[in-house]
A and B are shown apart, each in its own frame.
Chain A
Amino acid sequence: MWEKETIPDPDKLYFFIHIHAMRYDKEGNNPFVPESSLTNTPDSGPNKSSDWSKYHRPEDTRFLRGEEYKFGQKIFKKPDEYFIYSTLVSDWRSIDQQHGKQSVEHDPIYNDPIPIGTPNNRAHSIIIGNKDDLKLRTIIARSIKWEIAPPDTKIECKEYKKTLGL
Chain B
Amino acid sequence: MHMNTQIRNVSKIRNDYRLKPLSRNTQQNNREWGIGEKNPRSGLVGISVQHTKFHPVYTKTGIEDFTLGSKFEEEIREIADLNDNWDEEGALKPDYSNLKNATLFVLKYGNSILKTFGKNLSYPEINPCKDGSIDLVWRDKTNFLILNFREPNGQIANFYFDQYDPNLGRQGGFVPSELDQDILNYLKKFV
Contacts and interface: CB of A to CB of B under 8 A. Distances in A.
Given A35-B135, A134-B159, A138-B144, A71 B127 contact: no
How extensive is the interface on chain B, given as a class? Answer: 20 to 34
Nearest to B124: A26
A77 B158 CA distance: 34
Interface residues of A, number: 29
The 10 lowest CB-CB distance pairs between A and B, nearest first, are A134-B160, A36-B127, A39-B129, A21-B87, A36-B129, A71-B90, A36-B135, A43-B90, A34-B127, A18-B88
Interface string A34-46: 1111011111100
A94 B162 CA distance: 18
Given A20-B87, A41-B89, A70-B85, 12 more contacts: A18-B88, A21-B86, A26-B71, A34-B125, A34-B137, A36-B129, A42-B131, A43-B90, A71-B90, A72-B85, A72-B90, A138-B144
B88 A81 contact: yes
Interface of A: 17-18, 20-21, 23, 26-27, 34-37, 39-44, 70-72, 77, 81, 132, 134-135, 137-139, 142
A19 B73 CA distance: 21
